[in-house]
């Protein structure tokens, strides 16, 4: 099977929702490579491969549609209905978030961060590799 046909088949299956691990197993491909290809296809289709980022953008798009409709712009009824559904669901989800729950989550996060800074000591090369550059001398700081 040539590479173009394989790419077409793998891409088609991934776009239809076939799990990447199954596609990798059937075609004897590296699962990490197939997952990466699936993520690339999602970026091309949705602008991101992160569901939360996509949903946040969807909420902003719905707000834009509703703002245009409220301000007297001609907006198709199906767009207003879809935007209303998105905004309604967003409001419902946010209404369930009580200030107490928000405070609990914030405190949990702060406790974790305190634990990270108190227990870890100076960063090792492995700890800071993701940051790229970790200044150890104030002279090394960019001006």
pLDDT of residue 126: 56
Closest CA to 24 of 40, 13, 15, 16: 13
- In tens, the pLDDT along 49-80 reads 899 999 999 999 999 999 999 988 999 999 99
What is the chain's mean pLDDT, rounded? Answer: 83
Q: What's the pTM?
A: 0.54
- In tens, the pLDDT along 122-132 reads 555 555 554 55
Round to the nearest angstrom and report the end-to-end CA distance of the chain: 56
Distances (CA, A) of 70 to 23, 64, 123: 47, 10, 53
């Amino acid at each position: 099977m040539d590479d173009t046909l394989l790419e077409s088949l793998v891409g088609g299956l991934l776009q239809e929702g076939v799990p990447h691990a199954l596609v990798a197993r059937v075609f004897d491909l590296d699962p990490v490579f197939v997952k990466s290809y699936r993520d690339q296809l999602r970026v091309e289709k949705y602008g991101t491969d992160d569901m939360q980022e996509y949903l946040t953008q969807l909420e902003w798009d719905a707000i834009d549609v509703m703002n245009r409709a409220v301000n007297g712009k001609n907006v198709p009824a199906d767009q207003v209905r879809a935007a209303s559904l998105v905004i309604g669901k967003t409001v419902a989800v946010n209404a369930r978030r009580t200030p107490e729950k928000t405070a609990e989550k914030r405190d949990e996060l702060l406790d974790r961060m305190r634990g990270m800074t108190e227990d870890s000591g100076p960063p090792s090369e492995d700890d800071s590799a993701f940051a790229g550059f970790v200044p150890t001398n104030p002279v090394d700081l960019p001006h």
